[in-house]
A = this chain, B = another copy of it.
Amino acid sequence: MAQVPKTCKVILADSIGKNMLVEVQESRDAFRKEHGIERKLCLAAFLANDDPHAVKYAEWSQKTSQENGIDFQLHRVDKDDLEEKIMAANVDNGVDGIIVYYPVFPGNLERDRYIQETVALDKDVEGMCHRHLQNMYHNIRFLDPPTNQLKSILPCTPLAVVKILEHLHIYNTIIPYGNRLYGKTITVINRSEVNGRPLAALLANDGATVYSVDLTGTQVFTRGDGIRQLRHQVLDKDADFGLKQCLPLSDVVIGGVPSEAFKVPTELLRDGAVCVNFSSFRNFDGPAVKEKASIYVPSVGKVTVAMLLRNLVRLSANRMATGGKLE
């Protein structure tokens, strides 16, 4: 008698991230060779808080950068010196990319937003400058249309989730590029400006119907009937349309709630749903979800770090293409 195969395939970000780091190394080596660059690419990182998740992310990105031949300069700075330090790094030709660990000013999202905008567009590895964000929301992939040589940068965690969904074959490569999520229904739980909202927009721009859920309510992001629009539109759902309504409809459920207490209600998941958690906390009840999901990705951090280095290589290529220098 054949064995019943396990219901759920658990996929660790580590294994996906490793392959992506190999691709990053290859594109970096090709780029350095093409331009005769001798020195390592340099990522300047600014840590101005003691948030344990930020510290962990900083340590991970430092370790991964070093393992992959990137010069990672971690600066522990005072909040009040941060803007000056970033401005100096902006004009330092020895710095190729800048990352800041947030929150810098906990509870004051506008001040953090100000800091994000301080980073020069051509060194913004996080894709958090307004122009990068605007391009992402408008489904525009280049900074220099119609030449289209300079790629716009996408924020690391949403991009990591996209790359994971590609790896999981949720993106259907039979369908033309740009529409590969058409027919998929996806719930994203969290609508923060840094993660949940950009992610919902990216997925809807690729053709999905995306339910974006947070404490303030549910919105649906789509490219309209028959995905005829070039970019997503957002519609508010009624106040009584929440997880109970979205989850049974969803092929993919993505958790990003920054809270120990929150758990996705497993009983609402569709049999065979694909579940991905990008929160630092576990948004899914592991043992229960494995009895119901077809694929479960418990964390994405390792892929996020790979995307950070990918963005660094892209920015360096953009700067060389526009006559910039790497000294």
Interface residues of A (CB under 8 A from B): 1-2, 4-7, 9, 11, 167-169, 172-179, 182-184, 207, 209, 222, 225-230, 251, 270-274, 291-292, 294-295
- Contact present for A5 and B226 (CB under 8 Å): no
Q: Could you list 8 A-B pairs, sorted by A, with CB under 8 Å?
A: A7-B227, A9-B174, A168-B174, A175-B294, A182-B271, A183-B270, A183-B271, A183-B272
Contacts of A179 in B (CB 8 A): 5, 7, 294
- Contact present for A226 and B169 (CB under 8 Å): no
Contacts of A2 in B (CB 8 A): 230
- Contact present for B230 and A4 (CB under 8 Å): yes
* Distance, CA A166 to CA B169, complexed state (A): 12
Contact of A176 among B5, B173, B222, B226 (CB under 8 A): B5
Residue of B nearest to A269 (CB): B183
- Contact present for B173 and A207 (CB under 8 Å): no
- Contact present for B183 and A172 (CB under 8 Å): no
Residue of B nearest to A227 (CB): B7
Contact of A4 among B7, B177, B228, B295 (CB under 8 A): B228
* Distance, CA A230 to CA B168, complexed state (A): 24
- Contact present for B271 and A227 (CB under 8 Å): yes
Closest 7 CB pairs of A and B: A183-B272, A182-B272, A182-B294, A183-B294, A7-B226, A5-B176, A169-B172
- Contact present for A226 and B271 (CB under 8 Å): yes
Assuming A183-B272, A226-B271, A272-B207, is B172 touching A168 (CB within 8 A)? yes
Residue of B nearest to A222 (CB): B271
- Contact present for A272 and B184 (CB under 8 Å): yes
Residue of B nearest to A173 (CB): B169
Contacts of A169 in B (CB 8 A): 169, 172-174
* Distance, CA A274 to CA B180, complexed state (A): 12
- Contact present for A225 and B271 (CB under 8 Å): yes
- Looking at A174, A207, A225, which has the most chain B CB atoms within 10 Å of its CB? A174
- Contact present for B292 and A226 (CB under 8 Å): yes
- Contact present for A271 and B174 (CB under 8 Å): no
Contacts of A11 in B (CB 8 A): 174
* Distance, CA A291 to CA B207, complexed state (A): 14
Contacts of A168 in B (CB 8 A): 172, 174
Residue of B nearest to A171 (CB): B169
- Contact present for A7 and B228 (CB under 8 Å): yes
Q: Shortest beta-carbon distance, A327 to chain B, in Å?
A: 36
Q: Shortest beta-carbon distance, A151 to chain B, in Å?
A: 15
* Distance, CA A291 to CA B274, complexed state (A): 27
Residue of B nearest to A272 (CB): B183
* Distance, CA A273 to CA B169, complexed state (A): 16
- Contact present for B270 and A4 (CB under 8 Å): no
Residue of B nearest to A179 (CB): B5
Contacts of A4 in B (CB 8 A): 228-230
* Distance, CA A207 to CA B272, complexed state (A): 9
- Contact present for B183 and A6 (CB under 8 Å): no
